[in-house]
Amino acid sequence: MAVQPITSTNHAPHTVQPIPVILNGRTLEHNRRMPLNTDWVEAVRVNTSAVERRAATHVARRTVKKETQAAWLLRAIACMDLTTLSGDDSADRVRRLCAKARNPLQRHIVEGLGIEELHLTVGAVCVYHAFVETAVKALEGSGIPVAAVSAGFPAGLNPLAERVEEIHRSVEAGAQEIDIVITRAHVFNGEWQALYDEVAAFKEAAGPAHLKAILGTGDLMTLRNVARASWVAMMAGADFIKTSTGKESVNATLPVSLVMVRCIRDYAERTGMAVGFKPAGGIRTAKQATDWLALMKDELGRPWLEPSLFRFGASGMLGDIERQLEHHLTGRYSATYRHPIA
Amino acid sequence: MSIAEKFYTMEYGAAPEDPKEVNQWLERHHRRFEEFIGGAWVAPASGEYQTTSDPSTGETLAEVAKGNTADVEAAVAAARKAFPAWQALSGHERARYLYALARQVQKHSRRLAVLETMDNGKPIRESRDIDIPLVARHFYHHAGWAQLLDQEFPNYTACGVVGQVIPWNFPLLMFAWKVAPALAAGNTVVIKPAKYTPMTALAFAELAMEVGLPPGVLNVLTCDAKTGQALIEHPGIDKVAFTGSTEIGRVIRKATANSTKKLSLELGGKSPFVVFDDADLDSAVEGLVDAIWFNQGQVCCAGSRLLVQERVAEMLYTKVRARMETLRVGPPLDKAIDIGAIVSPVQLETIRKMVDQGVAEGAKCWQPSNSLPEKGCFFPPTLLTDVHPAATVVQEEIFGPVLVGMTFRTPSEAAELANNTVYGLAASVWSENINVALDLASQVKAGVVWVNCTNQFDAACGFGGYRESGYGREGGREGMLEYLTPKWLHSLPAAPHAAVKISVPDEEEGFEPAGEPPHANIDRTVKQYIGGKQARPDSGYSFPVYGREGELLGEAPLGNRKDIRNAVEAARNASGWARTSAHNRAQVIYYIAENMIQRRDEIAHGLARAVGEDQAAVEVDLSIQRIFSYAAWADKYEGVVHHPPGRNITIAMPEAVGAIGILAPSEAPLLGLLSLVLPAIAVGNTVVAVPSERYPLVIGDVYQLLDTSDLPGGVVNLVAGRPAELAKTLAEHDGIEAIWCFRSDEEANAVRAASIGNMKQVFTNDGHEYDWFNPAQAEGRWFLQHATQVKNIWVPYGE
């Protein structure tokens, strides 16, 4: 079978060469739906204490400094789904976000870092369905995809037909990426077939758009539930698995992320297919950004540092990154108000 | 490389910790350090210095004094001088000093961490996040023990001057483990850091000066191993504590065999890392990283023997290999390095040779493709598979980043393989089934067992080994006891040089002619008692036993080495006794007392002929009480649960030591024998006991009691004969885990010397004559403590 390297969905002209998606020497394909194998779901073993220890020590084992740090922060921008998901969102706010997405860094920072040729943009802009058209229009010509949260976001408790229809409408409105939420009850009840069918239906509804399956890890409570839900979502054909809605009491954490990326790794080893990962919610600082990048690099490798396989769901993080980059250039600590808001 | 290029490659760049402050500190000392004796820096008597270097670069860090025996004399003299005043301080006053030291360590934590990394080669992440915080924690914890000493150890007192020798793998942490409990208990200290890594000990000495620790309380000698031995052998040292190789442990045993120095040894290991098929394999892989790729594998408790259940073996090996690819080996001061430098070129060469030998013996060697720094002592993480228990690399400690992997099928095979080693320091067990994990934890012969984790340490949780991994514990209550002795012990009279008239015939001279045979006893045949059966002595000889007036009391079997061999085998076969419930053991022991009550007069009558009627009556009555006492203890000498930082419980379980050889005292032929046998069996040991020559016929009474009391065969074996000769066979026997000798100094010395082979634990009267008639001294915790060793099982929890 011909191998299709996964290329960035971010069509910004800076793409030097597509990074081949290789894991432990094996070239991987895009994820496709496969039959549900509940043995894999039931075989999940997650030791919470050990996972927490690994997550806590990994942060202490890895750090990046100086130019490397700057480069990694730029990478975080490239992998960022710049997001606004508030009840008081307005068209103007979305347009402002899109403007920031096109030019995430102030000109003097771009020039100071010497990265003009990267034409750096964020990975995507993520909004509610109501603002998809606004965003698509505002991003026209930038190559930046619009992601829509969908399927009854954030609780996922609307009737299934309505959730599927919502996806159709967002895709029609121009969304190239769809972030759906799963029915958490299916996980609690061990209704793997129902969960699988649901995600598979969403994937089909999304058509060519990339499907990110939000597991609602804060609601799932246990790491074993997170792992089981990850397996089902991947088998059902999700392009990405994503931690949280940002609306749960606890959102993306490193232990949860570690469990999910380990699932992605095992899935790739068993099936030869690559699934992306998106931590979302609660990631606000530049330091967190590099922590997560290091986790992806060590657990899955370089291909998972591309926006095609890794995204941050974040709104406030860009501002902190911009401040850190300014500090890198000037040696002075910057203030938030000196950088344009998203 | 431009930022744009870095954006593309996404490699980790350099992230060096700045050594500027440490270099400035070294410069302030002109990169030359004297020894710390009597509270001051003292030039070495030799006038010579040796260098210590950074193993990651080979560059010299500083010159340190080359101590010699004159320095040892000076340091021990300073410690002796300081001891009375230091011991006389209140617990609170000592606690203030220890607290100040803990604070001082925290205040200078980064300097100590950087200095440690520069001297030792360990990654700064480890010295910063593990070593130094644990050092501070140890001083805090022991400040607490100093404060509570009078309440918690009311009948104990300091040993005196302690001589300590520590290794190079965790220089300051081992320093803390040694110094903190010693000082808390009121001892004064002379400590010798390892030759390769003296720097943090010297830096600590400076902190001790800063907090005003009284002169002479802590003395730091930098010298070679030979001078270290002079320290250990010095008659002014009351207690020796050593952490290092089993080989040097043996040397120390030999050097202290003719003394009553209290000894604690923390030695080598080849600790199993057991992964069941229901384990979280990814987490087990990270466990292995913490087990064998921590501190370059130069860890006594490194999980260096991977035992994985067959069904998941290939999957685990694949994951391990993939993980090894992401381990970063490099300059230890880099904050994003996993594996730093091997401590010295010598150690690097040792590791290389061991791996080569492993491959020569058939092992498949796998190392990741990552490149090593060109300069300095580095060795890649290594996995050896296709190895077997017979292979050198499986049996011997490599002390490097080298893991050997084997498979097992059943839990019982896992236990068998895990215990198939002369060592017994630690074990790690991975399973998501708590029954499976705790079952193996209970079976494995190791002082520390980590369930679903590894290399966890805390000052409150004891650490130390079984078997040839040493004895004594560091940390917690049991660690404090290593630096304390019972107050009454010091006030006991000296043990008699020669025991009572030895009526056992000399080998050359043969038997003395028997006197008039006592008709009352002529029909009484006393045999050996082995495996629950009366057995004729292998020699086919008996020897006459005489009474106080020289009258013949009867004949006892003359045991020889074969009787001991058979008895030890019977004792080992009876090891199931340790797994019977404490309630069951208590019942059996009560029953022994009940039967003795029935036969009180008969036993007293026989004993009276050897010790007189008065003593005989007291001995028998006190024996009944003592038996009751240990029946009572059987289900009450229990462990504790620690709560170390994090979501953990650590179960500290006293476990039976195993098969214990006992050489009974002559002062009280019956009571003395029972006072040693009973604590041993109360907690589940099995015993081979040799009665005193004064009245060996007593075993005839004892085994009749045992026979009628439902004691399983082999739990107690009784062999009469020449105690000194039988003691030697027992002490040399590798199947005996501990030997208790409550006889003359000469015999105790001989037992100590002969028991070095398997590093068995030795418990003696330390040159004193115990008062077996005083329950405050002759029974209870002091004996139970020696009959057990503490196993700490770490159990993290959380879903």
- Give the pLDDT band (50/70/90) at residue A144: very high
Query: Has residue B618 got a pLDDT over 90?
Result: yes
pLDDT tens figures, B393-410: 999 999 999 999 999 999
Spell out the residues 6+ positions from residue B431 whose beta carbon is closer than 8 angstroms to its own.
B275, B276, B278, B279, B437, B440, B451, B452
pLDDT at A18: 86
- Give the pLDDT band (50/70/90) at residue B504: very low
- B276 and B403 both lie in a single domain: yes
Helix (H, G, I), strand (E, B) or coil at A331: coil
pLDDT tens figures, A68-120: 999 999 999 999 999 999 999 999 999 999 999 999 999 999 999 999 999 99
| CA–CA min distance B682, chain A (Å) | 37
Query: Has residue A142 got a pLDDT over 90?
Result: yes
pTM: 0.95
* Residue A297 belongs to domain with CATH number: 3.20.20.70
Other C-beta atoms lying within 10 Å of the C-beta of residue B365: 15
B6, B15, B432: residue with CB nearest A47 = B432
Q: Are B404 and B306 in contact (CB under 8 A)?
A: yes
Q: Quick one: tokens of B153?
A: 């150890």
> Which of B487, B489, B457, B486 lies closest to B473 in space, CA to CA?
B457
CA-CA distance, A156 to A244, in Å (whole number)?
12
B53 lies in some domain = no
Query: Has residue B517 got a pLDDT over 80?
Result: no
pLDDT at B133: 98
pLDDT tens figures, B50-71: 999 999 999 999 999 999 999 9
CA-CA distance, B623 to B702, in Å (whole number)?
11
Q: Examine the residue annotation and report whether A88 is marked as an active-site residue of this protein.
A: no
Query: Has residue A19 got a pLDDT over 80?
Result: yes
DSSP-assigned states of every residue in B251-302: HHHHHHTTS--EEEEE----EEEEE-TTS-HHHHHHHHHHHHSSGGG--TT-
B6, B338, B452: residue with CB nearest A61 = B338
Q: Which domain holds residue A247?
A: 43-338
- Give the pLDDT band (50/70/90) at residue A1: very low
> Does B314 reach chain A within 8 Å, measured CB to CB?
no
Q: Are B292 and B303 in contact (CB under 8 A)?
A: yes
For A17, name the nearest residue in chain B, comparing CA atoms only.
B8
pLDDT at B520: 52
DSSP secondary structure code for residue B547 in this structure = -
Mean pLDDT of B704-730: 97
- B203 and B63 both lie in a single domain: yes
- B569 and B710 both lie in a single domain: yes
pLDDT at B331: 97
pLDDT tens figures, B632-647: 999 999 999 999 998 9
Residue with tokens 């006891």: B481
B541 against A13, higher pLDDT: B541
Query: Has residue B338 got a pLDDT over 90?
Result: yes
> Does B287 reach chain A within 8 Å, measured CB to CB?
yes
B6, B290, B796: residue with CB nearest A68 = B6
Q: Give the rounded percent of residues in chain B with a pLDDT score beyond 70.
A: 97
Q: Are B688 and B663 in contact (CB under 8 A)?
A: no
- Give the pLDDT band (50/70/90) at residue A340: confident
What is the arrangement of strands in the sheet containing B32-33, beginning at the earlier edge strand? B32-33, B60-65, B49-53
A149 lies in some domain = yes
CA-CA distance, B765 to B740, in Å (whole number)?
9
- B583 and B445 both lie in a single domain: no
B11 lies in some domain = no
- B337 and B406 both lie in a single domain: yes
* Residue B40 belongs to domain with CATH number: 3.40.605.10
Distances (CA, A) of B95 to A3, A85, A210, B104, B133: 69, 57, 64, 14, 19
Spell out the residues 6+ positions from residue B266 whose beta carbon is closer than 8 angstroms to its own.
B242, B243, B244, B300, B425, B463, B464, B465, B469, B470, B472, B474
Spell out the residues 6+ positions from residue B521 whose beta carbon is closer than 8 angstroms to its own.
B553, B554
pLDDT tens figures, A163-189: 999 999 999 999 999 999 999 999 999
- B308 and B431 both lie in a single domain: yes
pLDDT at A9: 45
Inspect the interface and report whether the beta carbons of B281 and A45 lie closer than 8 Å: yes
Query: Has residue B509 got a pLDDT over 60?
Result: no
Distances (CA, A) of B654 to A66, A166, B658, B721: 53, 64, 12, 33
- B319 and B279 both lie in a single domain: yes
* Residue B359 belongs to domain with CATH number: 3.40.309.10
Q: Examine the residue annotation and report whether A179 is marked as an active-site residue of this protein.
A: yes
| CA–CA min distance A211, chain B (Å) | 26
Query: Has residue B37 got a pLDDT over 90?
Result: yes
10 Å CB burial of residue A58 (0-12, 13-18, 19+) is: middle
pLDDT tens figures, A261-270: 999 999 999 9
A13 lies in some domain = no
Helix (H) or strand (E) holding B227: helix B225-233
B646 lies in some domain = no
Spell out the residues 6+ positions from residue B692 whose beta carbon is closer than 8 angstroms to its own.
B499, B500, B664, B665, B666, B669, B672, B673, B723, B743
Other C-beta atoms lying within 10 Å of the C-beta of residue B681: 26
CB proximity under 8 Å: B 239-268 to A = none
CB proximity under 8 Å: A 226-285 to B = 262, 269
A3 lies in some domain = no
* DSSP alpha helix (H) spans, A140-191: 160-172, 184-188
Q: What is the ipTM of this complex?
A: 0.95
CB proximity under 8 Å: A 156-195 to B = none
- B444 and B545 both lie in a single domain: no
pLDDT tens figures, A214-251: 999 999 999 999 999 999 999 999 999 999 999 999 99
Spell out the residues 6+ positions from residue A17 whose beta carbon is closer than 8 angstroms to its own.
none
> Does A305 reach chain B within 8 Å, measured CB to CB?
yes
pLDDT at B491: 87
Q: Which residues of B are catalytic?
A: 266
pLDDT tens figures, B182-209: 999 999 999 999 999 999 999 999 999 9
Query: Has residue A12 got a pLDDT over 90?
Result: no
pLDDT at A5: 44
| CA–CA min distance B17, chain A (Å) | 11
| CA–CA min distance B281, chain A (Å) | 8
A227 lies in some domain = yes
Q: Quick one: tokens of B477?
A: 């209550």
- B202 and B283 both lie in a single domain: no
Inspect the interface and report whether the beta carbons of A48 and B338 lie closer than 8 Å: no
pLDDT at B631: 98
Helix (H, G, I), strand (E, B) or coil at B304: strand
DSSP secondary structure code for residue B130 in this structure = I
pLDDT at B206: 98
**Which residues of chain A are within 8 Å of residue B335 when distances are taken between CB atoms?**
63
Residue type at A76 in one-letter notation: A
A239 lies in some domain = yes
> Does A25 reach chain B within 8 Å, measured CB to CB?
no
Q: Please tell me which residue in A100, A203, A212, A278 is annotated as part of the active site.
A: A278
B6, B129, B322: residue with CB nearest A71 = B6
pLDDT at A107: 96
Mean pLDDT of A300-310: 98
pLDDT at B522: 54
Residue with tokens 């980590």: B450
pLDDT tens figures, B276-332: 999 999 999 999 999 999 999 999 999 999 999 999 999 999 999 999 999 999 999
**Whole-number average pLDDT of chain B:** 95
For A18, name the nearest residue in chain B, comparing CA atoms only.
B8
Helix (H, G, I), strand (E, B) or coil at B580: coil
A108 lies in some domain = yes
Residue with tokens 């002079």: B230
When divided into structural domains, chain A yields a total of: 1
When divided into structural domains, chain B yields a total of: 3
**Which residues of chain B are within 8 Å of residue A297 when distances are taken between CB atoms?**
10
- Give the pLDDT band (50/70/90) at residue B516: low
Query: Has residue B556 got a pLDDT over 80?
Result: yes
Residue contacts between A and B (CB atoms, under 8 Å): 108
- B262 and B276 both lie in a single domain: no
- B237 and B334 both lie in a single domain: no
- B243 and B286 both lie in a single domain: no
Q: Are A28 and A215 in contact (CB under 8 A)?
A: no
**Which residues of chain A are within 8 Å of residue B277 when distances are taken between CB atoms?**
none
B2 lies in some domain = no
Mean pLDDT of B260-274: 96
Mutate which of B283, B328, B428 to disrupt the A interface (most A C-beta within 10 Å)? B283
- Give the pLDDT band (50/70/90) at residue B767: confident
A38 lies in some domain = no
Whether residue A154 is preceded by a cis peptide bond, meaning omega within 30 degrees of 0, is: yes
**Which residues of chain B are within 8 Å of residue A66 when distances are taken between CB atoms?**
13
pLDDT at B505: 47
The interaxial angle of helices A317-330 and A286-299, nearest 10 deg, is 100
B5 lies in some domain = no
**Which residues of chain A are within 8 Å of residue B646 when distances are taken between CB atoms?**
49
A306 lies in some domain = yes
Q: Which domain holds residue B742?
A: 498-639+656-787
pLDDT at B497: 62
**Which residues of chain A are within 8 Å of residue B8 when distances are taken between CB atoms?**
16
Mean pLDDT of A294-299: 98
Query: Has residue B507 got a pLDDT over 90?
Result: no
